[in-house]
Amino acid sequence: MKGFCLTNRTGDGFKLLQVMKTHGVKVNVVVYNTLIHALCKNRKVGRARSLMNEMEEYSDVTFKILISAYCNDNNLVQALVMMGKCFSYGFVPDVVTLTKLIEVLCNAGRISEGVEVLERAEGNGGTLDIVAYNTLLKGFC
């Protein structure tokens, strides 16, 4: 799967996924995340989100990939929805993902939502660094 995805052959990746399922192979979260990441890199975020719906379980990486992809597309509504879903499954996005989301929110003039993201992450045990706080402070300027 990784080889197909690294060479932008996501179509072959989907074929491999189907073969795995057909032959009774339990497809794990790493296989799905690899394909989801490749789809997002190729700006096929909708397809990646649909693939997520097929998964039996998620990991923090699943959410990180999709939150980052939505941020890259400036789709803040979906980025925030995905972040909420991430928290509801007991995961907290990593500091890089949180900082990216805060930055995109601040750049869009949605600073109060950036503050909410920061507070919610900290309230759920997330750790933020000086870069995250500076990103938020720049939003106020």
Predicted TM-score of the model (pTM)? 0.91
pLDDT at 131: 95
Mean pLDDT of the chain: 93
**pLDDT at res. 5:** 77
Instruction: Report angle CA 42, 75, 90 to the nearest 5 degrees.
Output: 90
Tell me the three state secondary structure of residue 128.
coil
> What average pLDDT score do residues 25-50 get?
94
pLDDT recorded at residue 14? 85
Confidence of residue 7 (pLDDT cuts 50, 70, 90): confident
Position 102 confidence tier, pLDDT thresholds 50, 70, 90: very high
- pLDDT confidence of residue 6: 79
Interhelix angle 76-88/60-72, rounded to 10 degrees, is: 170
By the 10 Å C-beta count (0-12 exposed, 13-18 middle, 19+ buried), 82 is classed as buried
pLDDT (average), residues 42-55: 94
